[in-house]
Amino acid sequence: MGRATEVDIVVMAAPLADRPAERGGIEALVSLVADDMERVNSFILSRTGSDVTLIPEVASHLISSGGKRLRPMLTLAFSRLSDYEGDGGVRLAASVEFMHTATLLHDDVVDESDMRRGKLAARMVWGNEASVLVGDFLLGQAFKMMVEVGSLPALDVLASAAAIIAEGEVWQLSAAKDLSTDEQAYLGVITAKTAALFAAAAEVGPILGGLGERERQAARAYGNALGIAFQLVDDALDYGGVSELLGKNVGDDFREGKITLPVVLALQRADEAERAFWSRTLENGDIAESDLEIAVGILRRHGTLEATVARARHYGDIAVEALDAFPDSPLRRALIETVAFCIGRAY
């Protein structure tokens, strides 16, 4: 058989979202932290207030648009696992959500994204400048709440995460359109850009509860591994998901020239025609209407979407194993189910 040309490359399988698989759920976690999440939501609403009308408008556009609030739920869950009973967990959970929201506002500007959580990105409604500045406001509010808790170690963990996330964003920007990006480099990007906040959100729980280094590192390991698994599934879904389920347009990573793990793996196995295709579309930004379909065909030909999800499962196993540091409880079991949920989104 001769080498494939671009026109020979076609979609070869159903979307990931159409395939059956075991699913986990986050219903148990949501139920167990529901009371505290109500308080978190109240904090969020109260801290988005400002005499500058544009600030609550832009912030509420994204905050009220849905999202699972998984990161603040991790803070609440690990605070409870650590037998902490004060209100610091609620404040830090709200801080974590503000940090996350700020990064989304900034990301959409950098990526020139049109959609976020199924509706127009804030930048499309109010412009790039307002999105960036409101993101800065939310970061400021997040750090104010951290200081109010009065835990220097927790403040150190979250402040360090903020710096690491910013580094990850710059790293990703420098790696965009770079076909030489390898798997190790890409995992470094998502560990900084995505997993750092998951890890910090979990670690502050044992800090508040006064537990030792073993529990702190276990919580951090859980959050880090869960964050990596979460992002890897997102990478696969961008080429094999359904836009209504993603809350963004399928193929956004492709159109933005992002070199995500499915592409990294496909490049390792690419023939001359496929490498020319990736160079034209991702490096040079010369993307035709049919190119997303061709890209999906290449990824499916080499099995890189499935390989990406398999790596997500590996990190999911690491997350579950980290929970061995905590005694069995409904909350611990709910955190295990949360791992299955994050990976099960691929199906």
Per-residue pLDDT tens digits for 144-160:
999 999 999 999 999 99
Label residue 35 exposed, middle or buried (CB < 10 Å: 0-12, 13-18, 19+): exposed
Looking at residue 9, what is its pLDDT? 32
User: Whole-angstrom Cα distance, residue 89 to residue 72?
Assistant: 9
Q: Digits of tens for pLDDT over the chain (347 positions)?
A: 333 333 333 332 334 544 334 445 899 999 999 999 999 999 998 999 888 989 999 988 888 776 789 999 999 999 999 999 999 999 999 999 999 999 999 998 998 888 787 788 889 989 999 999 999 999 999 999 999 999 999 999 999 999 999 999 999 888 888 999 999 999 999 999 999 999 999 999 999 999 999 999 999 999 999 999 999 999 999 998 754 455 557 898 999 889 999 999 999 999 999 999 999 999 999 999 999 999 999 999 999 999 999 999 999 999 999 999 999 999 999 999 999 999 998 76
User: Whole-angstrom Cα distance, residue 191 to residue 124?
Assistant: 28
Looking at residue 15, what is its pLDDT? 44
Distance of CA 230 to the CA centre of its chain: 6
Cβ atoms < 10 Å from Cβ of 118 = 13
What is the CATH T-level fold of the domain 6-344, as seen in this structure?
Farnesyl Diphosphate Synthase (1.10.600)
Q: Which two tokens stand for residue 268?
A: 């390792």
Predicted structure pTM score: 0.90
User: Whole-angstrom Cα distance, residue 4 to residue 272?
Assistant: 9
